[in-house]
Amino acid sequence: MRASTIIAFVIIAGGAAVLIFSHETGMIGGIRNDQFASVVAMVAILIWVGGAAFSGRLSTDLRNFAIWAGVAAILVVGYTFRDELRPIWSRVSGELNPSSPQVSGEDVVLRRGADGHFHARTRINGVEIELLVDTGASRVSLSQADAQAAGIDLSSLRYTVPVQTANGEVFMAGTRLNAVQIEPITVNDVPAFVAPPGALSGSVLGMSFLGALSGYSVRGDTLTLSP
């Protein structure tokens, strides 16, 4: 593959990346995004045609360029229809990873995992933690490791609150979480428990979060959370 083809592809790929990261503003360097895309395409074509004509390998380079042009076209089409494709990508990612939340309007939809439970990829105090959804738990309950990851000072905790778990009664420490988020839903100042070492194998999303929502419902293998 000739250098001119590589350069043309790099220009197209770079232009597509700039478009993706600047789509919110609608402008790049004082020109509209669609105009910028046209300029990028024209420059890439001129570089490729000039290089191919100079080398005398127009037919070979035409095939190579057609391949890269197809890749660039996919990127441009994906950018153009990003809003329409977002729900599709959300659904696909939810199928591949059930704990990955799917956004449906203002609601968040979770799919049942292979273990028969709902898991939610959650941000607690800005840190991503996967929680088991448990409507029978009165509060969000964190394991020691997850509490430490969320920035909770473990040395200040007092394990004095008796809590019934699947393994019997456990004394946990009460605390409050600045924010619990399952994008785009955020609940602030959430009451929570921190379990003593070894008491919880995984953290739990309980009613101190779920009860702050306007509603939640289970239908088949999906759990819908409404802000």
**Between the CA atoms of 72, 76, 77 and 81, what dihedral angle is there, to the nearest 10 degrees?**
150
Among the listed residues 38, 46, 44, 34, the one whose alpha carbon sits nearest the alpha carbon of residue 68: 44
The tens digit of pLDDT for each residue in 132-174 reads 999 889 999 999 999 999 999 999 999 999 998 777 889 999 9
Question: 51 pLDDT band (50/70/90 cuts)?
Answer: low
Amino acid at 197: P
Mean pLDDT of the chain: 76
Sorted by where each starts, the structural domains of the chain and their CATH numbers stand as 3-80 (no CATH), 90-226 (2.40.70.10)
Residue 200 has pLDDT above 90, yes or no: no
Among the listed residues 183, 184, 180, the one whose alpha carbon sits nearest the alpha carbon of residue 207: 180
Question: 27 pLDDT band (50/70/90 cuts)?
Answer: low
Q: What is the pLDDT of residue 12?
A: 63
Tokens 């439970």, located at residue: 117
* Least reliable range by pLDDT among 46-50, 53-57, 195-199: 53-57
Among the listed residues 146, 110, 128, 138, the one whose alpha carbon sits nearest the alpha carbon of residue 226: 110
What mean pLDDT do residues 206-211 have? Answer: 94
Angle between helices 33-55 and 3-21 (to 10 degrees): 170
pTM for this structure? 0.57
Listed in sequence order, the DSSP H helices in the chain are 3-21, 33-55, 58-80, 82-96, 144-149, 207-210
